[in-house]
Amino acid sequence: MPGTEPDDPTRRLVRCGMCGRPLTGTASRRTGLGPACDAKLHPPALDIRTRRREADQDPLPGI
């Protein structure tokens, strides 16, 4: 049957919405994006602790 994967004839071929590669994982097939393309669209959040630094401040006058 056209449009099905050769290893499992009951599953239809789903392609990535960005690059067009065939999707094999359940989560990828559900979202319509492969892992690499999903990482491009949704990068991991930055850890706020790595961006913090001590501010250089002058002492308050009179204290």
34 burial class (0-12, 13-18, 19+ CB within 10 angstroms)?
buried
Per-residue model confidence (pLDDT) at position 50:
65
pTM of the model: 0.53
More confident residue, 54 or 44: 44
| Cβ neighbours around 24 below 10 Å, total | 14
Per-residue model confidence (pLDDT) at position 36:
93
4-42 pLDDT tens trace:
445 556 778 999 999 999 999 999 999 999 999 999 998
Per-residue model confidence (pLDDT) at position 52:
65
